[in-house]
């Protein structure tokens, strides 16, 4: 795998990465492109020479056509051959551009999913998704611009033209060579300014898109406060700023085009002056003049393409760099080299003197020690912010402890593969979000090769089967973005069914009954009791009624376990008793 280092993501290094991946993944196809392009360039160089011979034969007053009949099929063959090989080269480049775009797009997306939650907490998912999409398209365009659009063919043609003209007429070759440094200088100076303008454009575009995504993603809030016009006005201001800057960049493009046209005009005048002088002196024929003018026209094509492509590629590389930045992000929680695959839980899970701070600052857990024995139900209770949910995300290894260790049958989970750990755990968060897919797909999401019978059984255990059958298409019904077509309680029951279907070694429920009505909550309690002894359960409870029958209840306060025992034993604990009294008094009917 090609290594990507964050500190090396400059213009030339990004181009080097793209070309390196192109060569390493599709070496022979890439060589084939160069070979076919060289053939096309060589044939293009021949066409003006053949045309020169035809014109000179006609002007020589040839009485019979037999002397140049043989030139016509050769001209046709060469002309069509150049076009044909040019076409083949373009087709191969298009294929390579698609494949390399896919390579980097999928690699960045895979790495994005692998990055720890501490990284995701600091980045907006919608913006990152947009960056990957735009950058992937930019990589395709870079390859298409550098190796497609006739540029390789044009470069070979220019090379052959320079070689030929310097051997035939050195002064003509010098006239052809003269625009090269001038084009290069103009392109370099103006492209640097265009690139700086593009950086500003990218920032303005990101800001406008964030505004758009933020508003559309909170459409219910926008409507509830009647802020439709204000959101449109805010987006309009930011998008107008983008277009104003885009216009300034476009002016630089126009200025570059003017300079290029001036250089071309001067070069044409110089060549015409040389040709007229040489014709008068009798050293050049009309056919040769036509040939040199044709060569000059062919030589301008790659120069114009190169200057355009160089400036455009600089803009595209800036956009593509966003993808490479994601691919280069360090993953401090990546599997170690000899990571083990966790087996099915046999004994239990132990939190051994675990201390954790969010972003290295705020203490969430302090020297926490407890065990979850296999088949037992352990509940965590406490005030909001006490550290209950932190225990769950550490068990899933969304974060690593700052001190201490979490042991799975004595194995530090840091030494296990993340994939095997999460295959052994089912997690039901406090507010479950579903995919915009069918109910069936959402339930079967965490289980490979799930059968229809098992999906329905899990739905029944979660008491979701009845309401699923009432949806328009039953299990085939699509739930909408983030499950918006279902109520909060329905979404939660689908999430519970998904977790139960996976038959995990450890089931973590993070206040997962908080959105359910009393009747459904009672049914879920039945499921929890059914799983007792079969699956180890860690329940983070908001409603104490959910965990009255837990084997062990841990009272968490300020990141520490301040009490442990059964429900009856903990009624003597002031924190637990206060939580119990507050809840049951609140839930007592008037």
Structure confidence at residue 518 (pLDDT)? 66
Who's near 110: CB < 8 A, 6+ residues apart? none
Which residues, 6+ apart, have CB-to-CB distance to 4 below 8 Å? 17, 324, 327, 328
Strand 506-510 and strand 536-540: the pairing is parallel
Residue 272 parent element (H or E): helix 228-281
Cα separation of the two ends of the chain: 67
Spatial separation of the C-alpha atoms in residues 500 and 550, rounded to whole Å: 18
pTM listed for this prediction: 0.72
Closest C-alpha to 47, from 29, 63, 68, 71: 71
| Sign of the dihedral through C-alpha 52, 53, 56, 58 | negative
The reported pLDDT for the residue numbered 511 is 67
For the four alpha carbons of 58, 64, 67 and 72, in that order, the dihedral sign comes to positive
Q: What is the mean pLDDT of each run of 10 residues along the chain (590 residues)?
A: 77 84 88 89 88 82 66 87 88 90 90 84 74 86 77 82 88 84 76 74 79 80 81 88 82 78 85 89 87 84 71 78 86 88 92 86 85 91 84 90 93 92 87 85 86 90 87 88 77 86 87 58 68 83 78 89 88 83 58
- Within 8 A by CB and 6+ apart from 315, the residues are 194, 195, 198
Nearest to 430, CA basis, from 524, 514, 344: 514
- Give me the sign of the Cα torsion angle 391, 393, 394, 399: negative
Quote the CA–CA distance of 377 and 538 in Å, as a whole number.
Answer: 6
Task: Name the CA dihedral angle for 406, 412, 417, 423, rounded to a multiple of 10 degrees.
Answer: -50
Instruction: Give the pLDDT of residue 587.
Output: 47
Residue 244 has what pLDDT? 83
**Residue 556 DSSP label:** E
**SS3 label, residue 562:** strand
Is the Cα dihedral 120, 123, 127, 128 positive or negative?
negative
Tell me, what DSSP letter sits at residue 378? E
| C-alpha closest to that of 356 among 348, 344, 347, 368 | 368
Q: Are strands 560-565 and 552-557 parallel, antiparallel or unpaired?
A: antiparallel
Q: How far apart are CA 256 and CA 189, in angstroms?
A: 9
Between vectors from CA 146 to CA 141 and to CA 151, what angle results, nearest 5°? Answer: 120
Separation CA 37–CA 88 (nearest Å) = 9
Alpha carbon distances (Å) from 250 to 195, 245, 552: 12, 9, 69
| Selection from 328, 340, 322, 539 nearest residue 427 by Cα | 539
Strand partners, 426: 507
Q: Residues 508, 513, 515, CA angle at the centre, nearest 5°? A: 135
Give residue 589's pLDDT.
Answer: 43
What is the 3-state secondary structure of 83-116? HHHHHHHHHHHHHHHHHHHHHHHHHHHHHHHHCC
The two structure tokens encoding residue 83: 């076009």
């Amino acid at each position: 795998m090609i290594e990507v280092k964050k500190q090396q993501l400059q213009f030339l290094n990004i181009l080097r990465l793209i070309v390196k991946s192109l060569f390493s993944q599709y070496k022979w196809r890439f060589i084939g492109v160069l070979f076919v392009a060289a053939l096309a360039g060589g044939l293009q160089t021949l066409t003006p020479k053949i045309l020169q011979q035809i014109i000179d034969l006609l002007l020589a007053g040839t009485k019979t056509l037999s002397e140049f009949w043989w030139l016509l099929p050769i001209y046709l063959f060469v002309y069509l051959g150049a076009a044909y090989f040019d076409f083949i080269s373009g087709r191969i480049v298009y294929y390579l551009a698609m494949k390399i775009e896919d390579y980097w797009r999928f690699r960045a997306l895979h790495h994005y999913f692998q990055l720890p939650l501490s990284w995701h907490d600091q980045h907006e998912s919608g913006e990152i998704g947009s960056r990957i999409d735009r950058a992937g398209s930019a990589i395709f365009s870079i390859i298409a611009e550098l190796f497609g659009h006739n540029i390789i063919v044009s470069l070979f043609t220019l090379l052959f033209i320079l070689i030929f003209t310097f051997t035939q007429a050195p002064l003509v070759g010098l006239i052809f060579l003269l625009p090269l440094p001038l084009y290069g200088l103009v392109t370099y100076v103006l492209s640097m300014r265009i690139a700086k303008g593009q950086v500003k454009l990218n920032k303005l575009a990101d800001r406008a898109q964030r505004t758009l995504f933020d508003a559309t993603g909170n459409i219910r809030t926008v409507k509830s406060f009647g802020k439709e016009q204000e959101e449109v006005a805010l987006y309009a201001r930011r998008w107008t700023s983008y277009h104003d800057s885009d216009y300034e960049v476009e002016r630089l493009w126009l200025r570059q085009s003017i300079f290029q046209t001036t250089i071309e005009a001067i070069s044409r005048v110089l060549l015409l002056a040389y040709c007229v002088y040489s014709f008068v002196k009798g050293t050049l024929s009309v056919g040769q003049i036509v040939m040199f003018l044709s060569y000059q026209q062919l030589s301008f094509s790659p120069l114009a393409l190169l200057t355009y492509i160089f400036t455009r590629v600089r803009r595209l590389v800036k956009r593509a760099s966003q993808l490479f930045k994601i691919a280069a992000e360090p993953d401090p929680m990546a599997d170690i080299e000899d990571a083990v695959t966790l087996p099915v839980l046999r004994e239990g899970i132990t939190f051994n003197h675990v201390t954790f701070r969010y972003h290295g600052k705020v203490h969430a857990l302090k020297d926490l020690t407890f065990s979850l024995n296999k088949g037992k139900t352990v509940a965590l209770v406490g005030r909001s912010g006490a550290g209950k949910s932190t225990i769950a995300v550490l068990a899933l290894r969304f974060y690593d402890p700052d001190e201490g260790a979490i042991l799975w049958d004595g194995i530090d989970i840091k030494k296990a593969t993340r994939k095997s750990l999460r295959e052994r755990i089912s997690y039901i968060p406090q507010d479950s979000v579903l995919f915009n897919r069918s109910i069936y797909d959402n339930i079967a999401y965490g289980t490979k090769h799930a059968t229809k019978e098992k999906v329905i059984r899990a739905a029944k255990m979660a008491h979701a089967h009845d309401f699923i059958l009432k949806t328009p298409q039953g299990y085939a019904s699509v739930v909408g973005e983030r499950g918006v077509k279902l109520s909060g309680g329905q979404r939660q029951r689908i999430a519970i069914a998904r977790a139960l279907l996976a038959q995990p070694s450890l089931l973590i429920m993070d206040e997962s009954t908080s959105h359910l009505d009393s009747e459904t909550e009672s049914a879920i309690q039945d499921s929890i009791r059914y799983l007792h002894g079969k699956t180890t359960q860690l329940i983070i409870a908001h409603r104490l009624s959910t965990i009255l029958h837990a084997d062990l209840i841990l009272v968490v306060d300020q990141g520490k376990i301040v009490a442990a025992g059964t429900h009856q034993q903990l009624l003597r604990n002031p924190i637990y008793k206060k939580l119990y009294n507050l809840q049951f008094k609140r839930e007592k009917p008037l």
